[in-house]
Structure 1
Amino acid sequence: MPALLEDPSTRNAPPPAHTNAANTLLPRHLTLPKHPSTKVTLYPLANGPSSVPRDLIRFLHAEFNAEIVRGNTYPMEQAMELEQFAEYWFGTFAVVAVLDDENESHGLREGREWESVCLGTFYVKPNYPGRCSHICNAGFITTTAARGKGVGQAMGEAYLEYAPKLGYKYSVFNLVFANNPASIRIWEKLGFGVIGRVPRAARLANSEELVDALIFGRDLGV
């Protein structure tokens, strides 16, 4: 469920309100819409890759690169190296969704079986630099084991909770490909609208023709 545009090797500084707010955000506890007995916690992460379990980064790196190789959703053509991915995804602010562990008070720790307990992740970062840094975008990964369980919508709702608290005023998703109806349905359900269209924007593996990209936008209500 990608929404990115920026060069992975660069990073725009977040708005001034971001730094003070990021470390005050609390985990979000929920049950999945399609599986109400499944308890999930979404953990906000604001202190860079060093605050994330290393084996979790390796797992998400593999999931992300597999999505790039499939060639249907992200614009990149080349897989990322591990360290580049870690900084790209976790360098500004990110959230990881994992199944609750009844025996532990915190579900983000080394040694968990991430293939079965990690449901997804998303980052939040500025879409533009400087005076426009209060406009954000996000990138999403729903893990292979979690697809079809309503995780994408749950992460979208969490995004709408966290982003304004980080100082962002408006959200732009730059590249939502027109042949990705599942992603489009989620954003429309969450109040996003199409604010632009880029004709023939992408060469995708699941289309013989060039695919248009939709630009979605939404006021964050602050």
Structure 2
Amino acid sequence: MEIRIASDEDWPSIYPFYSAIMAEGKTYAFPEQQSLDEAKPWWMENPPGQTVVAVMDGKIVGSAKMGPNKPGRGAHIGTASFLVDPAYQGRGVGRALGEYVINWSRGQGFRGIQFNAVVEVNAPAVHLWKSLGFEVIGTVPGTFDHPEHGLVGQHVMFHRL
């Protein structure tokens, strides 16, 4: 698997699984039913952040976006978001992207990485982030309207670098 910086030309290959994941409604509180052009600024980061893609056998199978969690006095802490094409889940794509983000964040001089909203019933993601050194700092109750579980909490997770 190769992880590389995403280009504008990659967006049409990311969009189908971005759109499918948003339509599923289980992991992100992003707008649903966005067009290709409407969705692009929600995922493709500008400097100082960056968006990357995971490529297997010439096909884009995942993506991550990363950058400062907050501007100004909060800019020493990074954040990131992740997408894995549902057809490629369980093949190490998320782990590879997570490891990339941790290494990139260290290289950028961030002091930690904060995930602001990990849906608490997203067990695969919670397990993955814990295995990569993230801790659940707290859970904000009832802040995500899950299509199967109703109102559930979102974890704030942190990895000290």
- Alignment correspondent of 1:76: 30
- Alignment correspondent of 2:11: 57
1:145 maps to 2:101: no
**How far is the alpha carbon of 1:183 from its aligned partner?**
0.3
Greater per-residue strand proportion: 2
Q: Which amino acid aligns with 1:195?
A: I
**1:57 aligns to what SS in structure 2?**
helix
- Determine which of 127, 141, 148 is the counterpart of 1:206: 148
- Alignment correspondent of 1:44: 5
- Alignment correspondent of 1:216: 157
Kept in 2, the 8 Å contact 1:123–1:138? The answer is yes
Give, in whole Å, the separation in 1 of the partners of 2:110 and 2:84. 23
Kept in 2, the 8 Å contact 1:71–1:77? The answer is no
Kept in 2, the 8 Å contact 1:73–1:177? The answer is yes
Kept in 2, the 8 Å contact 1:41–1:100? The answer is no
Structure 1 unaligned regions, length at least 5: 1-39, 46-50, 102-116
**How far is the alpha carbon of 1:203 from its aligned partner?**
0.7
Would the alpha carbon gap of residues 125 and 83 (structure 1) be closer, same or farther in structure 2, given more than 3 Å must change? farther
Q: Which moved more, 1:211-220 or 1:144-153?
A: 144-153
Count of residues in Structure 1 that have an aligned counterpart in Structure 2: 158
Q: Which amino acid aligns with 2:99?
A: E
Q: Which amino acid aligns with 1:96?
A: V
Q: Which moved more, 1:146-155 or 1:72-81?
A: 72-81
Q: Which moved more, 1:61-70 or 1:180-189?
A: 61-70
Larger-gyration structure (1/2): 1
Matches within 5 A, 1:64-103: 64-92=18-46, 93-100=50-57
Q: Which amino acid aligns with 1:123?
A: K
**How far is the alpha carbon of 1:168 from its aligned partner?**
1.9
- Determine which of 99, 102, 105 is the counterpart of 1:157: 99
**How far is the alpha carbon of 1:74 from its aligned partner?**
0.5
Which ranges of 4 or more aligned residues in structure 1 deviate by more than 4 Å?
none
**How far is the alpha carbon of 1:164 from its aligned partner?**
1.7
Root-mean-square deviation (Å)? 1.6
**1:173 aligns to what SS in structure 2?**
strand
Give, in whole Å, the separation in 2 of the partners of 1:182 and 1:152. 10
Give, in whole Å, the separation in 1 of the partners of 2:94 and 2:75. 25
1:190 maps to 2:132: yes
Kept in 2, the 8 Å contact 1:122–1:140? The answer is yes
- Alignment correspondent of 1:122: 64
Give, in whole Å, the separation in 1 of the partners of 2:127 and 2:144. 20
TM-score normalised over the length of structure 2: 0.89
- Alignment correspondent of 1:177: 119
